[in-house]
Amino acid sequence: MLLHVPNVLTPEQVAQCRAVVDAGTWADGSATAGHIAAQVKRNDQLPETSDAARQAGEMVRRAVLAHPLFVAAALPHRILPPMFNSYGPGQHFGNHIDNAIRVSPIDGVQIRTDLSCTVFLTDPDAYDGGELVVEDTYGAHGVKLEPGDAILYPATSLHRVEPVTRGARVSSFFWIQSMIRDGGQRGLLFELDTAIQRLTIADAKNPVITDLTGVYHNLLRQWSEV
């Protein structure tokens, strides 16, 4: 499932986040890539343990966990501390699949990467190229979103960042270990959750809502690894 999550950060939060990361000291992004990915990765990143990355990352983490659509789709159990990258002219990240296990550089906790998320922090008119391209059974999907918007997609997906030809593309990215390991089960729960929400808006007193909510939580209880 490829999901656009709008307005994760408000314009004010985007400005605050950019002020922090823009003042940080950037480093070669290939240092945090696996052996294979490092061969096709050309970008800059904030060091994961830097003050700027940790401060801005906490802003992003709190924002996504407060966003109902993100929580409904991801059902997050653990989130790796958000990281930050920048792509300038000529920089790109070729086709790759994210590592299955990531280790937090802050507390050493291991995370199974069920989902990947990118939060865009740059106006799309400020740079050319730089699209995130995610491939699935339906083809290749180019993503270039407004600042503050996020894209959520399976970490098993083959994906890339196209070369930037003008300006700079600054984003936050991170991985999520979901309470529901199976993507099909997670997708069914998301569809059921959103259907319950639509029914609640249309007819809040409908007793079927209670029945469906019970089904949702019983499935969550049965499938959850928590």
Question: Which residues are annotated binding-site positions for 2-oxoglutarate?
Answer: 169
Cα 32 to the center of its chain, rounded Å: 17
Annotated binding site for Fe cation: 96, 98, 159
Ramachandran angles phi, psi of 84, nearest 5°: -140, 135
Annotated binding site: 96, 98, 159, 169
Using the Cα atoms of residue 99, residue 103, residue 104 and residue 105 in order, give the sign of their dihedral. negative
Give the separation between CA 16 and CA 38, rounded to whole angstroms: 30
Give the separation between CA 218 and CA 226, rounded to whole angstroms: 14
Q: How far separated are the first and last CA of the chain, in Å rounded?
A: 22
